[in-house]
Structure 1
Amino acid sequence: MQTILVLYYSRHGATTEMARRIARGIGEVEGMQAKLRTVPEVSTVCEATADDIPEHGDPYVSLDDLRECAGLALGSPTRFGNMAAPLKYFIDSTSSLWLSGGMVDKPAAVFTSTSSLHGGQETTLISMMLPLLHHGMLITGLPYSETELLSTRTGGTPYGASHLAGTESKLPLSEEEARLCHALGKRLASVAKKQQA
């Protein structure tokens, strides 16, 4: 079995739910499995060390998780049109993988959740693509053959899966958003499988 790493940060749970839907899509591709990982919070006042195991949810990611994966789905809520600081903090620690070329030619996809429809979904997705491109990864988006892209009134972009969580961050995934997350996972795993052949 080849592993696709689904790495995300979630504050209110929407990005976690997206990660789980993406993982289900990955699992539908024969010979592929998903590994869900997250990142710890970062301190706003000083550097702090989190416990090795979170109190709840998925385990924290390690550089070995990235090194060993066949592909990567990267997800974050939007923070002023950019990825959240905890995810960026971890990405900034991956220089050793960049130096060794450990991520070159692996496929990657991105996903995000925002509180408003025009809250920076596409810029956040693009901000997550930039370090992946520097790592030499191959970005896979969502093609318009996924017809939900033409009909969604919530989230969903060709750059990656997205979700409109609402001003209180409580809206569940819409049917279109859930299907697009699933499709993104399945596409990512299919591309990774072809890369391994």
Structure 2
Amino acid sequence: MKQADLSILILYYSRQGSTRKIAELLAQGVESVSGCEARLRTVPPVSTVAEATAPAIPADGAPYVEPSDLEECAGLALGSPTRFGNMAAPLKYFLDGTSAQWLSGALAGKPACVFTSTGSLHGGQEATLLSMMVPLLHHGMLLLGLPYTQPALMTTSTGGTPYGASHWSGPNGDRPLSDDSRALSVALGKRLAEAAVRLRGQ
């Protein structure tokens, strides 16, 4: 594989746009690394109504993820808003259907990181990040966080943890990302891409 072929999958679910904004910042960090490209993907919503269906193509934003996106990626960033300290159901639903990739080891040995947004300051950011790590560990992925060599980790009051990038979006999801949260999101994307390059021996 040529250096320019390293694709980093940024897979997320977002309802009000905050998690999507973090995903886009991670993509900036990924694409700041020579030879890496960000592949933004999302998952469709789920419904308790059995007849409910989502369009095959989202009205806006990233396309829906396909199993081939997992198989082809050199690294994975996984993002979700918090749901009572856990990832949102649509993302969990998708991950629950990745048995074939688990059996084949499609993600084993690849680097991964996680990111989240939450409506309240103590709404479970870190618990959500940790919950998203569990299926990635089962897939054999190599988890990355944010080291304290990132100065914004010591100054942030709006999000950002050693477990991954995060953002306090407010109850209506309309709080803008702070400079610290933006810097940490870009830094996490860059770190993920750099790890993927090193692991590929390029």
Q: Does 1:43 align with 2:56?
A: no
Q: Partners of 1:97 and 1:48 in 2: how far apart?
A: 27
Tell me which residue corresponds to 1:105: 109
Map 1:118-133; keep pairs closer than 5 Å: 118-133=122-137
SS across alignment from 2:131: helix
SS across alignment from 2:82: strand
Q: Partners of 1:74 and 1:30 in 2: how far apart?
A: 22
Map 1:48-197; keep pairs closer than 5 Å: 48-197=52-201
1:47 CA drift (Å): 6.1
Stretches of 4+ aligned residues off by more than 3 angstroms? none
Runs of 5+ unmatched residues, structure 2 = none
SS across alignment from 1:155: coil
Q: Does 1:19 align with 2:26?
A: no
Work out the number of aligned pairs and report it: 197
Q: Counterpart of 1:179 in structure 2: which amino acid? A: A
Q: Could you state the TM-score of these two structures normalised by the residue count of structure 2?
A: 0.96
Q: Deviations over 1:89-137 (max 9, x none)?
A: 0010100000011100000000000011110000000000000000000
SS across alignment from 2:148: coil
Runs of 5+ unmatched residues, structure 1 = none
Tell me which residue corresponds to 1:32: 36
Q: Partners of 2:119 and 2:59 in 1: how far apart?
A: 26
Q: Does 1:5 align with 2:33?
A: no
1:51 CA drift (Å): 2.4
Q: CA RMSD in A?
A: 0.8
Q: Partners of 1:48 and 1:170 in 2: how far apart?
A: 28
SS across alignment from 1:162: strand
1:178 CA drift (Å): 0.2
Q: Could you state the TM-score of these two structures normalised by the residue count of structure 1?
A: 0.98
Q: Counterpart of 1:172 in structure 2: which amino acid? A: P
Q: Counterpart of 2:81 in structure 1: which amino acid? A: P
| Identical-pair percentage | 62
1:49 CA drift (Å): 3.9
Q: Deviations over 1:120-177 (max 9, x none)?
A: 0000000000000000000000000001001101101000000000121110100000
Q: Deviations over 1:12-42 (max 9, x none)?
A: 0000100000000000001101000000000
Q: Counterpart of 1:28 in structure 2: which amino acid? A: S
Q: Partners of 1:107 and 1:51 in 2: how far apart?
A: 31
